[in-house]
């Protein structure tokens, strides 16, 4: 019985240590009533001229705001994009008016939906690096953020894909790069 208790206490201590450390890993940024959570981007293959960046934005205020733009020094420009199914075909298009964040709403930019399209990359984004950037909101103004660069096939800020997925995603990124040339 004593041994079980010690293991239980040790396990609980480990759980608490992990729980305490987890918030420190998540980077949040404030812009007025908005909270930006875990900005991240995917690593890109050598020679790629486009990449994707993702994050979540929560509006804690009483009025709507709008993400109107973004920038990073590593790209010529950044576009806010929508990706959705249209007649059985996945289509991507820029959202020139940005994305509205209603009061009490959390908007998630992710690889399967709305995202930031990093256009005209000057060099590959490398896994485990951090890229400084700026987000611009209609009402809250500009906020400096840092994008953590995850693996080429990451599906979230914390994911770690397997090699086969990474190779397949690298081919998709190269194909997408050719599609966006001159965009």
Report how far residue 107's alpha carbon sits from residue 23's, in angstroms, rounded to the nearest whole number.
Answer: 20
Residues 64, 141, 128, 38, Cα dihedral to 10°: -30
Instruction: Give the pLDDT confidence of 104-118 residue by residue, as tens digits.
Output: 999 999 999 999 999
Per-residue pLDDT tens digits of the chain, which is 183 residues long: 444 444 344 433 333 333 333 333 458 999 999 999 999 999 999 999 999 999 999 999 999 999 999 999 999 999 999 998 999 999 999 999 999 999 999 999 999 999 999 999 999 999 999 999 999 999 999 999 999 999 999 998 886 544 444 444 444 444 544 455 444
Report how far residue 111's alpha carbon sits from residue 154's, in angstroms, rounded to the nearest whole number.
Answer: 9
For the record, the structure tokens of 94 come out as 């820029």
Instruction: Give the pLDDT confidence of 16-25 residue by residue, as tens digits.
Output: 333 333 333 4
Domain boundaries, the chain: 27-180
* Residue tagged 């576009």 (tokens): 79
Report the DSSP beta bridge partners of residue 109: 55
HEC-encoded secondary structure of 99-131 = EEECCCCEEEECCCCCEEEEEEECCCCCCCCEE
CATH number of 27-180: 2.60.40.1890
The pLDDT of residue 48 is: 96
Question: How far does Cα 15 stand from its chain's mean position?
Answer: 27
Could you tell me the CA-to-CA distances from 85 to 93, 113, 115 in Å, in that order?
11, 10, 15
| Count of other CB atoms within 10 angstroms of residue 124 | 17
């Amino acid at each position: 019985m004593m041994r079980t208790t010690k293991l239980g206490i040790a396990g609980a201590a480990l759980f608490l240590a992990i729980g305490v450390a987890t918030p420190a890993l998540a980077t949040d940024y404030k812009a007025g009533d908005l909270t930006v959570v875990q900005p991240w981007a995917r690593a890109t293959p050598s020679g790629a001229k486009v990449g994707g960046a993702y994050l979540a934005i929560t509006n804690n205020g009483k009025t709507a705001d709008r993400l109107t733009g973004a920038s990073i020094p590593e790209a010529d420009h950044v576009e806010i994009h929508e990706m959705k199914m249209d007649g059985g075909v996945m289509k991507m298009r820029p959202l020139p008016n940005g994305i509205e964040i209603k009061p009490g709403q959390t908007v998630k930019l992710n690889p399967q939906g709305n995202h930031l399209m990093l256009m005209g990359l000057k060099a590959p984004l490398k896994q485990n690096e951090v890229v400084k950037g700026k987000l611009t909101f209609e009402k809250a103004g500009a906020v400096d953020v840092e994008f953590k660069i995850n693996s080429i096939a990451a599906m979230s800020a914390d994911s770690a894909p397997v090699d086969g997925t990474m190779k397949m995603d690298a081919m998709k990124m190269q194909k997408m790069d050719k599609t966006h040339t001159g965009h």
